[in-house]
Amino acid sequence: MNMIQAINSAHKVMMARDPDVVVFGEDIGYFGGVFRATEGLQREFGSSRVFDSPISEGGIVATAVGMAAYGLKPVVEIQFADYIYPGYDQIVSEVAKIRYRTAGEWAMPMVIRSPYGGGIFGGQTHSQSPESLFTHIAGLKVVIPSTPHDAKGLLIAAIEDPDPVIFFEPKRIYNGPFDGHHDRPVTPWAKHPASEVPDGHYTVPLGKAAVVRKGEALTLLAYGTMVHVALAAVEEQGIDAEVIDLRTLVPLDIAAIEASVEKTGRCLVVQEAPRTSGFGAELAALVQERCFYHLESPVERVTGWDTPYPHSYEWAYFPGPKRMQKALEKVMSD
């Protein structure tokens, strides 16, 4: 499976297992969504469980809040992460707060899915990476997969979780991993080991990172598309780096990060989002706080630019092996 197919499969598995799971969003029913992640669900499960919404992100989230409070398990799609802002008030003020406001009497078992990040020449309004806006909000879980296998397992775990989950899907790798050396697609997921996706039910636990490359000289922290870029960069530079795919930003597997940095003594963080106030800053601070006496050099970050997303300079905006080379050299030389 590619990542789109894996996400579609997760929906099918959970809708078959649990009649309380409902799916809705803009064009996700009859049309199957812009990226076809919900294709065929309405035909299989009916229009009362899979249906199209008005073009109103605030309305989508508010409707899901009522459903979840009533006992249903809504899985909603925001067509692009760039469109999520009209629903941000509902997410911050209602979704993240219900359990606390009701002293645990009401839960909020809902998932908000959205394609995020660049890679399709979508320009400023189809390419943003707003994950740090949600990791800052207490009461939300934030998930970003990097492979089809993890996308399905994490989405199933998110749907089964009693609390709200923001599930960002890196659309740059929907159909296959990228060659981080040259910023172009390589073999499709069909020939990639991470495309081995079981047909049935399985979960990848929230809050558990994956060590996707073992190493002794450096710890490289990444998530989503940047996992593939990180792997390409360290192989190109010939560095014995340990690459950790965070998979979930909240809850964060800080134990895995600590264990790795204590072993390597060096840390580089990479994110596609703009630099200022990005999640990479939180990672750098945590490593500094928890691993200070093990560090051989300062923690470094490689990030997107502090600009609106530049359509014509998309590949320059992405952190890539060339952008990462100086940071890797600095971390290793200090």
Low-confidence ranges of the chain (pLDDT < 50): 180-182, 185-187
CA–CA dist 47, 71 (Å, integer): 19
Instruction: Determine how many CB atoms are found less than 10 A away from the CB of residue 58.
Output: 15
**Alpha-carbon distances of 82 from 114, 221, 316, rounded to whole Å:** 9, 25, 20
The burial class, CB within 10 Å (0-12 / 13-18 / 19+), for 196 is: exposed
- pLDDT for 79 equals 97
- Measured CA to CA, the distance from residue 69 to residue 98 in angstroms comes to 8
Give the contacts of 243 (CB within 8 A, at least 6 positions apart).
211, 212, 213, 215, 220, 222, 227, 230, 231, 234
Of 218, 232, 217, 249, the residue nearest 319 (C-alpha)? 232
Q: Write down the CATH number for the domain with range 210-333.
A: 3.40.50.920
Q: For the chain, give every domain's residue range.
A: 3-195, 210-333
Q: Does domain 3-195 have CATH number 3.40.50.970?
A: yes
What's the pLDDT score for residue 185? 43
Q: What pLDDT is recorded for position 193?
A: 62
Q: What is the pLDDT of residue 122?
A: 80
Residue 192 falls in the annotated catalytic set: no
Within this chain, domains 3-195 and 210-333 share the same CATH topology: yes
Q: What pLDDT score does 64 carry?
A: 98
The helix/strand/coil state of 68 is helix
Catalytic member of 11, 126, 149, 192: 126
pLDDT at 189: 54
